[in-house]
Structure 1
Amino acid sequence: MGPLKNNNKRTISQEAFEVVVKENIEDLDMDPNEALQDAIHTLTLQGVDLSGIVTCIPGVTSVNDNPVIQCLDQLKELVDHNDSNLKEIVNVLDNLCNLCSVQDSSSNVSIAMRNGGLDLLISICSKFKLRQRVLVSAFKAMSVLITDIQSTEIFRKNDGPKIVMNILSECSEKIDVVNSGFAVVAAAATGNEVVKDLFMDLKVDELLVQILGGKNKDGLRHPYDAIRVLLTADDGRVLASQVYGYARTFAKIGITESLVGALHQGISSPNLISATIALKAVAVNDEICRSIADNGGVDAVLKCIDDSGEQSNSAVARACCSLLSKLAGSDANKSSIVQKGGMDRLIKLSFRLSEDPSVLQEIMSIICTLSLRSPGNAASAVEAGAGDFAIQAMQKFPAAPQMQKQSCLMIRNLVAVFDMLVFCEIAICALGIFWHVVTSILLGNGIEKIIRKAKENHESCKDAATDALRDLGLDNYNV
């Protein structure tokens, strides 16, 4: 979601802006270019929002010379004629999309929005709802224009959710329409809880399960994006988001099976990262995490992690490690991951992608979660080489604050002293020996100095570093 516009900002009409420029020329005897720049500068200093204003010079250039305005005018004229050339409509839609997609195109998007571009695109979709080529181009342009809360509200007020869902339901076998249509769903639901709710009321969850459970999924990406957005609490205006309930609804009707199926296609699948991110968004509680594992999700993720290391694919490694960390939040899954050689596989990945601190950070997060309240898993991590991994990574990337922090958290979980009352006398003794050996090795390899350096250099590491030093048994941990 783009930044919310300041509602206190003053606005100005296109006509009023041109009047200011004209007065600069006629009353202050400025040359046209100077008059234009002075108008922009003065109005900006006065707190006037000029987004969407076509900065033209009256008598020299015209609003109608702007390519975005020209596209909108052409579309209005074409749509008004029942015998319109559909190919021409598609060409103009594609041109509009390109104008609003290029780098630094925010002014073009603002101009299109201010001049009714989104309203026009929604009406085109409604009028040409069975014309596949028109729909694909209109959806692509629409997803580019929907960038903030104002545009998502325009989409909502124009009955956009219902129009788009009706089209997607009727064209569920047409991959191009489905893909571009769900790009609109993702854009419109971003940062707007009300729009999310409308899509859920229109059974978007059932449609997504149907589409992702079908045979023809090649080329699909945006349905996965839509799941992620629908299940993300990103509307700052809402105190209590409903997305947790939406995730349970998605899981109940079988979305996890479809998403895990995409993971089983392996690292060569173009949908792997998108499906992994979507599955992480669905995994909101222990029951769903266990269900994902029961459907082979842990096996699939571990296999993808192995393959990402072999192929040096950091993007896949990050996404899969992030998902595995979420799944490891379930105690049942923790045991399964460790039993399947998870610790060794993660350390092997750290060697293969040792130049990418973002991947190392994700690996540390998993080991941290696996070791939480689990001395056995902590021992497995240490045996696999987690201690050396932490030391080497912190020394290699001293300027990576998030990785430094995650390393401190992982070290703390590896050496934390657990509630002794839950263990028998023999277990207490074994735990004590384990803690002493591990801390001695880590301290002997200079971990104290490394953690203190992270604490000193990065404010975000302060608390995690203090806790790690304390659980390593150091008296001056708070210094």
Structure 2
Amino acid sequence: MASRRITQETFDAAVRENVKEFAMGPEEAVTEAVEQFESQGVDLSNIVKVAPKVASDGYQEPKHDVLQALDALQDSMASSRPQEAAAHLARFCEQCRQHRGSRFLAAQHGAYPALLAAADLQGLLLPALQALAALTDGQPDLLDARGLQLLVATLARHADVAELTCVGLRCVRHVCLKHEHNRQDLTKAGLLSLLTGAIARHSCHADVIREACGVLRVMTFDDDVRVPFGYGHARARMVVQEHRGLRVLVQAARGFPDNPSVLGELCSALSRLVVRNEFCQETVELGGLSVLLGLLADHANHQDLVRQALSALRAIAGNDDVKDALVRAGGTESIVGAMTQHLSSPQVCEQSCAALGVLALRKPENSRAIMEGGGALAALQAMKTHPQEAGVQKQACMLIRNLVARSQAFSQSLLELGAEALIAQARATHPDCEDVAKAALRDLGCHVELRELWTGQKGNLVP
């Protein structure tokens, strides 16, 4: 994997050399430079891979478009020309959206403080936040105390303005992804109540709901490798217990019966919040179970929504009482039907097997319902259809293991359906399936060689 890095100036110098010394055209010179550096193991993900251009005002030193837009923005702000500044903000925003390298280069040349300054000017808050959202995508370290105050103040003071709320939430999502300290600081500043408040207040605005759900999910992540541990679980608990998060999401889902993209985001957010046993039960009491099953019935053709609804059902089924309620409500048939209809989708198959596996765990009665409803047959068919998908194989093995762990009577039926060969193939193909595949084979009554890795006896260490 490439690990070396170079500066934008080094890359641009190589492009200029190709143009001057080898008479290449701009595009050919860039392509040659890219191939040259990548062959040396250089990571070019933060490099603008286009030839810099001469500015329209005749300035002779070539500059990349994003830096020209930044210079023009700063000039218009210094000259108090807000209309020009708005146009330059839009141009800068567009350049940042095109490539990660443009964002990185702009940040190196002072774009972040320039955008914060623009946000303070009359009439420029919205375009400045749009540019800030583009700039911080993939660069959460840019956020400082001033920027945090701007985002929180925007969400609080302009809570009724959907467009400002939407772009403010987008900024928050970008600065929180893979950045635990930013998440903690924004939580202390009151972000969680602003999130649930935005969903409740803008219950008919699809873009706001999507962005708010995206932020809610990111706030529950523990994805920052720079910290020893994160507080995603604690924040999920706070959203539910202190800010009525589950109620807000379930109510919002009822407001978008014909919008699969919004419903999918709501399902994804819900699945991240049910981190405790009582939260799963609360979701059912709020009507969340009927909403999720209704989605599987009413939007059966929308593959992404089906996958997200299955993920949410899998999450709330962590509660044993919810498992029983889900089976009584016809959830087994709905899940098997979704897997059968979308058998070509490894994502749907994986979530379906996982949901059925949770329903079967410690529940012989549910295992019987799954077997009678064709769940085992559908899972084995998924294993045949997606032999190279580790997630499908692992979850199907887990389902089979849970089906027979307390119901040995089902073993023979599964073996007759070819379960042993499919599990053995999954074990041989995917190292991640080793443990769960052996457990499934063991509980099916098949021969499995269990190696004792350590006996606890003292002995000499062999180098």
Q: Which stretch of the first structure deviates more once superposed, 159-168 or 348-357?
A: 348-357
* Equivalent position of 2:91 in the other structure: 95
What letter corresponds to residue 72 of structure 1 in structure 2? Answer: L
Cα displacement (A) at 1:62: 4.8
* Equivalent position of 1:164 in the other structure: 151
Equivalent residues of 1:52, 1:114 under 8 A apart: no
Equivalent residues of 2:170, 2:211 under 8 A apart: yes
Cα displacement (A) at 1:413: 0.3
1:254-307: CA deviation from partner (whole Å, max 9, x where unpaired) = 121111112223551342111111122221111222222211111111111222
Equivalent residues of 2:51, 2:64 under 8 A apart: no
Cα RMSD (Å) = 3.2
Residue 74 of structure 1, aligned match among 42, 59, 72: 72
Cα displacement (A) at 1:416: 0.7
* Equivalent position of 1:435 in the other structure: 408
The reply to whether residue 299 of structure 1 matches residue 290 of structure 2 is yes
How far apart, CA to CA, are the structure 1 residues paired with 2:357 and 2:245? Answer: 28
How far apart, CA to CA, are the structure 2 residues paired with 1:452 and 1:19? Answer: 56
How far apart, CA to CA, are the structure 1 residues paired with 2:424 and 2:377? Answer: 17
Q: Which runs of 5+ in 2 are unaligned?
A: 452-463
Cα displacement (A) at 1:126: 2.9
Equivalent residues of 1:273, 1:319 under 8 A apart: yes
What letter corresponds to residue 142 of structure 1 in structure 2? Answer: L
* Equivalent position of 1:213 in the other structure: 200
Superposition pairs of residues 274-293 of structure 1, within 5 angstroms: 274-293=265-284
Superposition pairs of residues 250-329 of structure 1, within 5 angstroms: 250-252=239-241, 253-265=243-255, 267-269=257-259, 270-309=261-300, 312-329=301-318
Structure with greater contact order relative to length (CA < 8 Å, sep ≥ 6)? 1
Residue 406 of structure 1, aligned match among 390, 395, 413: 395
1:406-461: CA deviation from partner (whole Å, max 9, x where unpaired) = 111100000014xxxxxxxxxxxxxxxx522x111111222212222222233332
Cα displacement (A) at 1:203: 0.5
TM-score of the superposition, structure 1-length normalised? 0.82
Q: Which stretch of the first structure deviates more once superposed, 375-384 or 49-58?
A: 49-58
Q: Which stretch of the first structure deviates more once superposed, 401-410 or 30-39?
A: 30-39
Q: Which stretch of the first structure deviates more once superposed, 191-200 or 119-128?
A: 119-128
Q: Which runs of 5+ in 1 are unaligned?
A: 418-433
Residue 344 of structure 2, aligned match among 340, 347, 355: 355
Equivalent residues of 1:12, 1:49 under 8 A apart: no
* Equivalent position of 1:455 in the other structure: 427
Equivalent residues of 2:8, 2:105 under 8 A apart: no
Cα displacement (A) at 1:55: 5.9
Cα displacement (A) at 1:19: 8.3
What letter corresponds to residue 470 of structure 1 in structure 2? Answer: R
What letter corresponds to residue 275 of structure 2 in structure 1? Answer: V
How far apart, CA to CA, are the structure 2 residues paired with 1:12 and 1:446? Answer: 57
Aligned residues: 438
Equivalent residues of 1:52, 1:112 under 8 A apart: no
* Equivalent position of 2:211 in the other structure: 222
Classify 1:62/1:326 alpha carbon distance in 2 versus 1 (closer, same or farther; 3 Å). Answer: farther
Equivalent residues of 1:119, 1:155 under 8 A apart: no
SS in 2 for 1:240: coil
SS in 2 for 1:238: coil
How far apart, CA to CA, are the structure 2 residues paired with 1:282 and 1:292? Answer: 10
Classify 1:209/1:34 alpha carbon distance in 2 versus 1 (closer, same or farther; 3 Å). Answer: closer
* Equivalent position of 1:336 in the other structure: 325
How far apart, CA to CA, are the structure 2 residues paired with 1:189 and 1:326? Answer: 23
Cα displacement (A) at 1:43: 12
How far apart, CA to CA, are the structure 2 residues paired with 1:39 and 1:353? Answer: 45
* Equivalent position of 1:138 in the other structure: 128
Classify 1:218/1:331 alpha carbon distance in 2 versus 1 (closer, same or farther; 3 Å). Answer: same
Equivalent residues of 2:277, 2:319 under 8 A apart: yes
What letter corresponds to residue 265 of structure 1 in structure 2? Answer: G
Percent of aligned pairs with the same amino acid: 23
How far apart, CA to CA, are the structure 2 residues paired with 1:168 and 1:446? Answer: 57
* Equivalent position of 2:461 in the other structure: none
How far apart, CA to CA, are the structure 2 residues paired with 1:162 and 1:248? Answer: 24
Classify 1:98/1:471 alpha carbon distance in 2 versus 1 (closer, same or farther; 3 Å). Answer: same
Equivalent residues of 2:116, 2:147 under 8 A apart: yes
* Equivalent position of 2:173 in the other structure: 186
Cα displacement (A) at 1:236: 0.8
Cα displacement (A) at 1:47: 6.9
SS in 2 for 1:127: coil
